[in-house]
Amino acid sequence: MKVIRYIPSSPFLLPDEAARKKALEIISEGHPNKEIEDGYSRLPQFVDSGDLLERVTCPECGKELDSEDWSILMDALFTDYGFESLDIDLPCCGAYSSLDKLIYDAPCGFSCFEVDVIEGESVPDGLLDKLAEAVGCPFKAIIAEM
Ligand SMILES: [Zn+2]
């Protein structure tokens, strides 16, 4: 099942209630007759691409992270409420980076606010721009296969 997950591009940004409501309206209009789920939290959550996530690569040296190294990085920063920080030292090359800057194939994200379109087909033209304008921050769409 394909799910389109709309999130703000900034991991720690939680739009206020009015902005979240506006975002939900815009996404519902863009995906008529689809089941839509939304959620938010004080700390960012990992927004994954489900079965489409095949590899995670270092943005600095280009080396693929093995899944165990990646799990250790994720677990070290995850709390009961989300990620307190996304800052990491990469095991491959020692570079200081962020979990959000790793190259996920297919793309994933970290976010405090998420709107999922269940069985969404594609991102309608102009929808991300409309969201950015209404909420006041850039948005991105994570395509997930569950
Ligand atoms: Zn590296």
Q: What is the pLDDT of residues 89-106, one digit of tens each?
A: 999 999 999 999 999 999
Centre of ligand 1 from the C-alpha of residue 56, in Å: 11
Centre of ligand 1 from the C-alpha of residue 76, in Å: 18
* pLDDT for the residue 69: 95
* pLDDT for the residue 99: 98
* pLDDT for the residue 57: 98
Centre of ligand 1 from the C-alpha of residue 78, in Å: 21
Strand pairing of 2-8 and 139-145? antiparallel
Please state, in angstroms and rounded to a whole number, the distance separating the CA atoms of residues 143 and 84. Answer: 25
* pLDDT for the residue 43: 98
Neighbours of ion ligand 1 (CB under 5 A): 58, 60-61, 90, 92-93
* pLDDT for the residue 125: 97
- Average per-residue pLDDT for the chain: 97
On the question of a cis peptide bond just before residue 106, with omega within 30 degrees of 0, the verdict is yes
Look up residue 8 and give its two tokens. 């703000």
Q: What is the pLDDT of residues 54-88, one digit of tens each?
A: 999 999 999 999 999 999 999 999 999 999 999 99
Is pTM beyond 0.85? Reply is yes
Q: Provide the pLDDT confidence category of residue 5 given band limits of 50, 70 and 90.
A: very high
Name the residue ranges covered by the structural domains of the chain: 1-53+106-146, 55-102
The correct answer on CATH 2.30.30 for the domain covering 1-53+106-146 is no
* pLDDT for the residue 60: 96
- The values of phi and psi at residue 106, to 5°, are -75, 160
